[in-house]
Amino acid sequence: MPTIFDAQRDENNQKLESKPFKISKDLPVDYKTAKSQHLYLHSFCIRPQTRFETQRDDEELILLIRAHPITQIPWILAVIVLSFVPILLSLFFGTYFSASQIIFANAIWYSFLFSYSFVNIINYIFNVGVVTNFRIVDFDFHNVLYKEVNETVLTKIEDITAKTGGFIRTIFHYGDIFIQTAGAEANIEFMGAPEPTEIAAIVNELIRRSQK
């Protein structure tokens, strides 16, 4: 499986023309504290004490973003409900099959259920957005083994939009973030991210400082 964090320094990445700008220690969230914070079950991490692949030596990690944990509830509920299906089938149709047949069928059912859960957990953990004092990187994993990485430097960001709509999203403070880039670079999206307005404010502040 491809790795994201604690990676070795990428020598090719050192050849980028632009350089990260230095920031003061008052940047995160309320711009008054530089302490590392992990909010919403580590889905909104401020100044996390870790590294990611391709991170430069002079690059500071400001935010690490995952989807809000509340967005994982649908598949978790589905797994819980589906885990009772073999039990119910055994109660109603157990007399038509032998014990070995029932055990074999249940083993196959729970194997698929475990695989489904494993893939969803891996996707939640490794599908992350990274904001540094130089760029924004979006890591997306598909089917566990395939990784897609989109990134843009702060100076090429033209617009950033945070959208929060609906009762559930308003109550739990999560929404979508759309980052529009200049030129042919791919736009970046963080879907279901916690505190989208706060994230947008931090990125806008980083953009402003990068232009000085």
Q: Read off the pLDDT of residues 80-116 as tens digits, 9 standing for 90 and up.
A: 999 999 999 888 888 888 889 999 999 999 999 999 9
Question: Higher pLDDT residue, 29 or 58?
Answer: 58
Q: Read off the pLDDT of residues 136-194 as tens digits, 9 standing for 90 and up.
A: 999 998 877 888 999 999 999 999 999 998 999 999 999 999 999 987 778 999 999 99
Residue 19 is predicted with a pLDDT of 52
Residue 195 is predicted with a pLDDT of 93
Q: Which residues of 2-40 are buried (b: 16+ CB within 10 A; e: fewer)?
A: eebbeeeeeeeeeeeeeebbebeeebbbeeeeeeeeeeb
Question: Across the chain, what does the average pLDDT equal?
Answer: 84
Is CATH 2.30.29 the right assignment for the domain spanning 35-53+60-67+127-210? Answer: yes
Question: Higher pLDDT residue, 145 or 207?
Answer: 207
Question: Higher pLDDT residue, 159 or 25?
Answer: 159
Indicate the domain borders of the chain: 35-53+60-67+127-210, 73-120
Average pLDDT over residues 60-68: 94
Residue 37 is predicted with a pLDDT of 85
**Which single residue is written with the structure tokens 């990690």?**
61
Beta-bridge mates of residue 130: 64, 137
Residue 171 is predicted with a pLDDT of 95
pTM, two decimal places: 0.80
Residue 3 is predicted with a pLDDT of 53
